[in-house]
Amino acid sequence: MRSYRAEVRLTAEVTSVSTQIQAWDTTADGWTWVPVQHWDLHTTARGDDLRTDLLDSLTRNGWRAHDIAGMDLRANPAVCTIEPTDWAGLLTGLAADRDAAAARLSDLDQALRSAAADATDTGDLTAVRAADLMGLTRVRAWQHRSAITASMKRALDAGASLDTDRLTAPERSALGLD
């Protein structure tokens, strides 16, 4: 089984808890700690009272703590070994986080594509330079742009209206709106 830990950061107002899994990073070819959950304990308790509050909080959030009694609370962050008790809840939460991140990534990709199209349309960047800045080959950047134009064409064919002032010159040309 992978290693799981809870990092506890203490401030005067709040105690922050971050549960993490040690996962294999295929990019770095090594182990890395990946955050799984995060929550704040609104407690000013310290010492054994904090350990009790932390244990209750970990339990409520689906974790079992193994070495909380020996946890050095003077360290910041303080770390203890934990183990999931609600595997279904853990997987459901991680899947939801992944899906939200994928949706955000999709939004950022759309923004990147649109900004690149505008940068090349205004003449401020060449297509080659824009592709390079996006980390793509020129062919792949062209494919992205073609996908946008194809989507706009489908929308027009379905009866949608496009604000032509927002289209780049190549988009207007490809859509026959010149």
Name the amino acid, one letter, at 90. L
**Residue 136 within any structural domain of the chain:** yes
Let me know if 170 is exposed, middle or buried by CB neighbors in 10 A (0-12, 13-18, 19+). Answer: middle
Looking at 85, 112, 133, the residue that finishes a domain is 85
pLDDT 10s digits, 29-74: 788 888 889 988 877 778 888 888 889 999 999 999 988 888 888 8
**Residue 22 within any structural domain of the chain:** yes
Strands (E), 15-118: 15-25, 30-41, 63-65, 78-84
Looking at 85, 114, 133, the residue that finishes a domain is 85
Residues 119 and 168 both lie in one domain: yes
- Orientation of helix 138-157 relative to helix 127-134, angle to 10°: 100
Residues 81 and 108 both lie in one domain: no
Q: Which residues of the chain have pLDDT under 50?
A: none
Residues 55 and 106 both lie in one domain: no
Looking at 56, 85, 114, the residue that finishes a domain is 85
pLDDT at 95 (0 to 100): 94
Residues 17 and 55 both lie in one domain: yes
**Residue 90 within any structural domain of the chain:** no
**Residue 93 within any structural domain of the chain:** no
Q: Which domain holds residue 138?
A: 98-174
Residues 107 and 145 both lie in one domain: yes
Number of domains in the chain: 2
> What pTM was estimated for this model as a whole?
0.64
Residues 51 and 113 both lie in one domain: no
